[in-house]
Chains A and B, each alone.
Chain A
Amino acid sequence: MDNTKFEKRYWIHTVTPLHVGTGRGVGYIDLPIAREKVTNWPCIPGSAVKGVVADHFGATEEERKKNGLVRAAFGTANASDSNEANSTAGSLVFTDARIVCLPVRSFYGTFAWVTSPFCLERLKRDAGMDVPSMSVGSAVLTKTTKLVRDGSRLYLEDLDLDCKRDEKADACAELIAGAVFADSPEWQAIFRERLAIVNDDIFTFLCESGTEVSAHIRIDEASGTVADGALWYEEALPVEALLAGTVWCDRVYRNKNANDELTKEKLLENFCSKPLELQIGGKASTGKGQVRCLFQKL
């Protein structure tokens, strides 16, 4: 039996800036965001996504005890002792959500959804996509791009890059736009006009310098001025960033006595099919972390 059909790709589309933090940073940013170790690209750990999805479906410990479906999907800990042998593993497994497109300021077209060959290579599984090869200092754009005007220079942040238009970029744009903006042809067109594929090195540079960093202060209630020592810098993944991961349904572990019909299809159908509006990461009360979570069949 092929277990691939119990697997879906999930997309995270940031609606407000997203701050999945790593605690206090040692650099000039006090509260940096989570990044992959080698590439230094922003990511959302799978555990963060899973916790939030579980929370969205009201999977409290009490609910998990009562509701077999929720328990099968997200597992339950045996609170009475610390022995893991008596716990039940959840069947839904979320991988990390890895960056696919980073919105970057562009001289033409307002902003570009920037991606790189390695991002696409990771996404390529099952899609049969042809990823264009890149040389340093160049970019590949779609046929209908709005990121250049009367020439062949692309201006992203303070970089200017040689660029060419290639059908392979159109195919990539089609795939991503079709998944993320499935119900909106207008947004699909907007995406196609703004996709730029740059070399991995440049993409790393943009991931390091193109995120949103905002300064914060706290006002002392008594004086109405800034509290002493209360200035900090917070990093966030900007609005319109696109990330993707995989959700897979493992064997369904259920209570021996439960006679409910729990299947992998049922779990995926229940928890991983309809688009979800979630809040992920920190600083929720300041509006951060509102995302659309979309599931795509592979």
Chain B
Amino acid sequence: MRYFRLTPLSPLIARDSRPFGAGQGNRVRSMDWISPSVIAGAVRTAVWKEKDTLTPEQLKTIEVHGAFPIADEQIYFPRPLDALIRKVEKETGIADILRIRPMARGEGLGVPMPHESLVPSAPVEMPEEDFKPERSDDFWSLEAMAKWLGCEEDQRVLMRIDGLPAPVKEDRTNVTILPESGAAEDTKLFTTTGLDFVRRPRDGESKGRLSQMRIGVRVNFGDYTLLAGRFLVPLGGERRLAETVESGDQDKFWKAPDALNVRSGKGLRMVLATPALFAKGWLPGWLREEHGNLTGTIPGSGVSVRLVSAVVGRWKPLSGWSYERGRNGPKALRRMVPAGSVYFFEVLEGGAELSTLWLRSVCDSAQDGRDGFGLALWGLWSGRESARCF
């Protein structure tokens, strides 16, 4: 494994799948964060540029995992969707969080569930009065995440998230100037939106010390270790560049924190750190119906589980442009389960190997895993007293 940090040298364009080009649209939009396949493609293309005899099949064996923001020597993960933030104290940064947990069987919200063995999830200790949840930061620090995942309780909690907002979007309007006339060419006006990776100071915070947000990536080159410790790669749309520097001591960012002991629990929470692709949409393909329940073995482990509930965000589009020989052109659109989605499991058997699952892919296809999709973080839950089914 080698660990890299990417520093964008210009705002990066992480395009969504809307069309752009002559006659198709004059606006390039950007998603909030880069999808894993963009980084995987960039790293593999960089390897191919060094050794162009490698075939697409060989290049696809290179595992590229990420990408996570790194700022001020901390790694961040997408906000878990089982946290409902009621309020964040501006001065102290302490957030009042309600935990979203599976409801008791029969206590449902009166809506049909995708499978009869599943129960809906809802916030515990929901206050009587209405409130609008705070969006809060898009990313949580590893420390906050470990604290959140390691806690089995379902009660309301006051904690510091120490979060990081997503990169700010920057719009640019571009024209083509004709060398013959020095004036703008007719119909050649378009706008692009990019992500600015300078860390945004919070409201009212001094810009006295600006810092750079970087992108953390883990690469397993397998048989094709070619890249130097520092190189430049074009990343995302419009060939914006990112400086890629190898960092030897990043291993700690990619390991489950020692404080987090997920072996003991009977209830297991799976949080997607990168968007996932499953054959059955939101439902992992390794879960099958058995005796009226959705059960299966977590990939790469002997842990057998039953799905109890899931908190899944709205799907995100995934497309792209393939540079693969013979397949050059736009890729088919796929739907991703967004990062931050949480699955609640009941452990049926095993559980000792869980620490090895940290940031491993849970996607159905091994290739999607090598492309960096579906990297999971693991935590505990026990749920409401009445909801306990074990």
- Complexed CA–CA distance, A294 and B264 (Å): 62
A4 and B207 contacting across the interface, CB-CB below 8 Å: no
- Interface presence of B324 (CB below 8 A): no
Q: Are B177 and A51 in contact (CB under 8 A)?
A: yes
For window 133-178 of A, CB contacts with B under 8 Å fall at 136
B174 to chain A: closest residue by CB:
A47
Stretch among B154-162, B224-232, B291-299 lining the A interface = B224-232
- Contact residues in A for B9 (Cβ distance below 8 Å): 95-96, 245-246
* B248 at interface, CB cutoff 8 A: no
Query: Chain A contacts of B21 at CB under 8 A?
Result: 82, 84
**Nearest CB in chain A to that of B242: its residue:** A95
Tell whether A16 is near chain B: CB-to-CB under 8 Å.
no
Asked if B210 is at the interface (CB within 8 A of a chain A CB), the reply is: yes
Asked if B348 is an interface residue, CB under 8 A from chain A, the answer is: no
Complex CA gap A174/B344 in Å reads 60
Contact among B49, B182, B210 for A200, CB-based, below 8 A:
B210
Residues of B within 8 A of A84 (CB): 21
The complex places the Cα of A204 from the Cα of B179 at a distance, in Å, of: 35
Q: A36-B196, A121-B212, A200-B207 are in contact. Are A22 and B173 (CB under 8 A)?
A: yes
Interface size on B, residues (CB 8 A): 44
Within B156-200, the residues touching A (CB, 8 Å) are 168-170, 172-174, 176-177, 179-180, 182, 196, 198-200
Q: Which of B11, B173, B177, B206 contacts A37 (CB 8 A)?
A: B11
The answer to whether A38 and B232 touch across the interface, beta carbons within 8 angstroms, is no
Complex CA–CA separation, A247 to B302 (angstroms): 51
Q: How far is the CA of A2 from the CA of B227 in the complex (A)?
A: 7
Distance in angstroms from A27 CB to nearest chain B CB is 16
B325-375, CB < 8 A from A: 328-329
Q: Is A23 an interface residue (CB 8 A)?
A: yes
Chain B, residue nearest A22 (CB):
B173
A2-B240 contact given A37-B11, A82-B23, A201-B207, CB 8 Å threshold:
no
Which residues of chain B are within 8 angstroms of A85 by Cβ–Cβ distance? 328-329
Does A250 lie at the interface of the complex (its beta carbon under 8 Å from any beta carbon of B)? yes
From B194, which residue of chain A is reached at the shortest CB distance? Answer: A37
Q: Which chain A residues lie closer than 8 Å to B198 at the CB level?
A: 36, 38-39, 118
A2 in contact with B10 (CB, 8 Å): no
- Contact of A96 (CB < 8 Å), options: B10, B206, B212: B10
Within the complex, what minimum Cβ distance (angstroms) separates A59 from chain B? 8
Is the beta-carbon distance between B239 and A89 smaller than 8 angstroms? yes
Known: A22-B173, A95-B240. A2 touches B200 (CB 8 A): no
Distance in Å from the Cβ of B372 to the closest Cβ of chain A? 23
Say yes or no: is A265 at the interface (Cβ < 8 Å to chain B).
no
In the complex, whether B243 has a CB less than 8 A from a CB of chain A is yes
Chain B, Cβ-Cβ closest to A86? B328
Q: Which residue of A lies closest to B46 (CB)?
A: A3
Please give me the residue from chain B that is nearest to A199 by CB atom. Answer: B208
Contact of A38 among B168, B208, B241, B328 (CB under 8 A): B168
Give every chain A residue within 8 A of B206 (Cβ-Cβ): 136, 201
B228 with A3: CB separation less than 8 A: yes
B153 close to chain A: CB less than 8 A: no
Least Cβ–Cβ distance between A60 and chain B, in angstroms: 5
Residues from chain B with a CB closer than 8 A to the CB of A136 are: 206, 208
Residues of A within 8 A of B168 (CB): 37-38
Specify the chain B residue showing the minimal Cβ separation from A118: B210
A248 and B241 contacting across the interface, CB-CB below 8 Å: yes
Residue of A nearest to B328 (CB): A85
Chain A, range 190-218, C-beta contacts under 8 Å to B: 199-201, 204
Q: A223-248: which residues lie under 8 A (CB-CB) from chain B?
A: 245-246, 248
- CB of A47 within 8 A of CB of B180, answer no
Closest Cβ of chain A to B14, distance in Å, is: 15
Given contacts A51-B177, A95-B240, A246-B241, contact A37 B207 (CB under 8 A): no
CB-CB < 8 A to A37: which residues of B?
11, 168-170, 196
Evaluate contact between A4 and B238: CB separation under 8 angstroms.
no
Taking a contact as CB atoms closer than 8 A, the residue among A95, A118, A199 that contacts B10 in the complex is A95
CA gap between A59 and B179 in the complex, in Å: 9
Q: How far in angstroms is the closest Cβ of chain B from A296?
A: 15
Write the residues of chain B forming the contact surface with A, with a CB cutoff of 8 angstroms: 9-11, 21-23, 46, 49-50, 168-170, 172-174, 176-177, 179-180, 182, 196, 198-200, 206-212, 226, 228, 230-232, 234, 238-241, 243, 328-329
* A-B residue pairs, 8 tightest by C-beta: A37-B170, A82-B22, A95-B9, A38-B198, A118-B210, A96-B10, A2-B228, A37-B196
Q: A200-B209, A250-B49 are in contact. List 13 more A-B contacts (CB 8 A).
A: A1-B50, A36-B170, A37-B11, A38-B196, A45-B172, A60-B180, A89-B239, A95-B9, A117-B209, A136-B208, A201-B208, A246-B9, A248-B241
Q: Can you list 15 A-B contacts (CB < 8 A)?
A: A2-B228, A4-B231, A7-B232, A36-B196, A46-B240, A59-B179, A82-B23, A85-B329, A117-B209, A118-B210, A125-B243, A201-B208, A204-B207, A246-B9, A250-B234
